[in-house]
Amino acid sequence: MSQAATTTWEEFMEGVWRQNPVFVMVLGLCPTLAVTVSAVNALSMGLATTFVLTCSCLLVSLLRKLIPKEVRIATYIVIIATFVTVVDYLIQAISLALYDALGAFIQLIVVNCIILGRAEAHASKHPPLTAVVNALGMGVGFSIGLFALGSVREILGAGKLFGFSLFGEHFQPWVVMVLPPGGFFVLGLWLLLFAAWGRWRQRRQGAAKGVTQHA
Amino acid sequence: MNHATQTLPEMTPPAAMIRTLGLIAAICGTIIVAAYQGTYRAVQENKRIALERAVFKVVPGAQAIAEYWALPNGEIAKVGAGETAPADAIKFYAGYDTAGRLAGIAAEGAAKGYADTVRILFAWDPATRKIAGFSVVAARETPGIGDKVTKDRDFLANFPLEAEPAADGRALAHEIRTVKHGSKAHAWEIDAIAGATITSRAVGRAINDTAQKLLPRIAMHLDTLKEKP
Amino acid sequence: MHESAAQIFINAFLANNFVLAMFLGLCPFIGVSGKLETALPMGAATTFVMLVASLCAFGLNLLLAYFNLEFLRLIAYIVIIASAVQLVEMVLKKYSPALFRALGIYLPLITTNCAVLGVALFQTAREYDFVQSVTFAVGAGAGFTLALTLMASVRERLRLSDVPSVAQGTALSLMLAGILSLAFMGFAGLGG
């Protein structure tokens, strides 16, 4: 693999894994918890956010030399709001049922801190290609996070995945999981899992190097 | 680099700032208008299909619909495209069967439920003068409890439900009321689901609030509505 | 259906609490609610901005509806909220420097608090009139402050407890929020 390809790949994986917006940075919590009552909703929200993130970062990166630093935040917000409006109409055109299920949270993508954060911290300092790849990675990472949450909540709370019944007639759904508290609990558990896994890996690396770990 | 620029970062001249902001506003404006125009027809089409599906679901046998306003002076008027509601008007949908005859009237109602507002669409059958049934348009009721209103067989057995406009043409002869489970005594009462009383009551109130005003206004115009326009 | 002002307030404050039932404004809820003394000013500032944003959004919506420009609503709202925050910041700086210093970094951050935009969007979607909009904004702000204060108190207390090191931080906060949210579900039906 050539040098350029490696950096691009790493740039992409940055958001998918190392800096995952849901599990590592814990950003953009509101939509993460609100729309993940089912796997379909979670994936759609992930896609919509990825679209807005990528388009906004592309435009910000293209205009980065033009935008005066005094008014950059205002400019970014206007650009993001533009693409959110676009996505809002696109979803209405694709499926009204999906639009109703996601509710106000499509429009609330505007204030998702991941997007403004990426525009400010990355896209405004990098050329378009890098910015787009990084934004795509972040978007995919966000979608994975949402899907992890949405599928668990749908399976536990409704006994279904993608609307298909998994456990048959006699399954008594764990309803609280699709209610607001369930969102907090499931995300909390995922974070716990990630923290425990990170701890375990650190310890193993430490052991391999022969370094004693003090927890 | 001299000392001055270090302590005082150079400022973009206001003219350049305004120029750039104007340029960005122009770009964004163009994108939004393009998206709005580009999706407008698909969105309207989707809304029409969704509305038809909802009405066909509650009005048995309906194949086509016409939208009307029921005005407070007792008149009815066809809804024009993109028209905003006249004061105090209630929107209703007349459903027609394949032969073009009136199959039923559908209208929306809303009432506060357990978690949030419960919005329903109900159908009135002009031949029997009864509420034929209802469907939930939007609700955030507790899954497994509040959403029983669309599944519970005993609750659905409340329909058809008597809804006869009073002789004076101002209200219903009998108020539609949700009563506690097992105490239904009249044909215009709704027997609540035990354990989901609040949602059952919301359904009853949503139907009653709209039906009280709407049905007396419509009752006088059934001849006009009889045939598909 | 007409909702009375009291119903709207109770709903926004408790039954449909913005943070614990609607998942709005979670970033400051998780991020800022570490100390009780910062939770209150943060809540007050947010409430104030919500009120200003709600008033602006109400006027703006009339204007947009008059010119049939509803598709510009989102962009107009977010710009007006950003300006409102900036304005509040400048006014505070001039007339009450002490309060300005106390709020510090939190003020500009309110722009990206989705609860503020949420107030503006919901009041439009539910077609609230002027009085209803104002009540809704105050109720939502009070609810946000309540959630923030509760969380901060619990977390202050928790700092003295023995918690497994893996669970410390956001994971624990989320679990706590879940329990609070479970408790708030008991308020459902209150605003009926």
* pLDDT per position as a tens digit, A30-89: 888 888 888 888 999 999 999 999 999 999 999 888 888 777 888 888 899 999 999 999
- Mean pLDDT to the nearest integer, C31-37: 73
- Say whether B112 and C188 touch across the interface (CB within 8 A): no
Q: What is the mean pLDDT of residues C153-177?
A: 84
Which residues have C-beta within 8 Å of that of residue C134, sequence separation ≥ 6?
Answer: C51, C54, C55
Collapsing DSSP to helix, strand or coil, B190 comes out as strand
Tell me if residue B102 falls in helix, strand or coil: strand
| Long-range contacts at C126-130 (CB < 8 A, ≥ 24 apart) | C128/C8, C130/C58
- Scanning chain A, the segments in alpha helix (DSSP H) are 3-13, 29-34, 39-62, 72-94, 96-102, 113-121, 128-158, 180-209
Same domain flag for B154 and B211: yes
Task: Give the position of tokens 């919301």.
Answer: B202
In the numeric block, which tokens belong to residue A51? 């679209």
**Statement to judge: residues B27 and B80 lie in one domain:** no
Q: Do A11 and A130 contact (CB within 8 A), yes or no? A: yes
Structure tokens at B143: 């899954």
pLDDT of the residue at A49: 93
CA distance C188 to C192: 9
| pLDDT surpassing 70 at residue A178 | yes
Query: Are residues B20 and B103 part of one domain?
Result: no
Residue B7 lies in a domain: no
Chain A residue numbers touching B17 (CB-CB < 8 A): 68, 70-71
Subunits adjacent to chain C (3 or more Cβ pairs under 8 Å) = A, B
Buried-state track B145-171, b at ≥16 Cβ within 10 A, e below 16:
ebbbbbebeebeebebbbbbbeeeeee
Has residue B5 got a pLDDT over 50?
no
Peptide bond into B160 cis (omega under 30): yes
B82 within some domain: yes
Query: Is residue A107 a contact partner of residue A88, using CB atoms and an 8 Å limit?
Result: yes
Domain contains B93 = yes
Q: Closest to A111 (Cβ–Cβ): which among C75, C114, C166?
A: C114
CB atoms under 10 Å from CB of A122, counted, come to 20
Domain assignment present for B196: yes
How many Cβ pairs within 8 Å bridge chains B and C? 29
pLDDT of residue A48: 93
Residue in C85, C112, C136, C165 to test binding to A, most A beta-carbons within 10 Å? C112
Residue B172 falls inside a structural domain: yes
Q: Which residues of C80-107 are buried (b: 16+ CB within 10 A; e: fewer)?
A: bbbebbeebbeebeeeeeeebebbeebb
By the 8 A CB rule, do A84 and A106 touch? Answer: yes
B198, C192: Cβ pair inside 8 Å? yes
In a domain, B158, yes or no: yes
The pLDDT value given to residue A34? 84
How many angstroms separate the Cα of B158 from the Cα of each of B189, C80, C106? 8, 50, 55
Local confidence band at A4 (pLDDT 50, 70, 90 cut-offs): low
Chains that contact A by 3+ CB pairs under 8 Å? Answer: B, C
Chain B residue with the nearest C-alpha to that of C15: B115
| Mean model confidence pLDDT for chain A | 84
The one-letter code for the residue type at A7 is T
State the Cα–Cα distance between residues B134 and B120, nearest whole angstrom: 7
Number of domain units in chain B: 2
In the predicted structure, residue C192 carries a pLDDT above the cut 50: yes
In a shared domain, residues B165 and B126: yes
Closest approach of B199 to chain C, Cα-based (Å): 10
Residue at B166 is within a domain: yes
pLDDT score of A3? 58
On whether both B95 and B171 belong to a single domain, the answer is: yes
For residue B203, give its domain range: 59-225
Predicted local confidence at residue B3, as pLDDT: 47
**Cβ-contact A153, A37 below 8 angstroms:** yes
pLDDT confidence bin for C146, thresholds 50/70/90: very high
Helix residue ranges, H only, C16-113: 26-32, 36-66, 73-95, 97-103, 106-109
Over range A145-155, report the average pLDDT: 91
Q: Which residue of B has its CA nearest to A175?
A: B143
Residue B25 lies in a domain: yes
Structure-model confidence comparison of residues C108 and C93, the more confident one:
C93
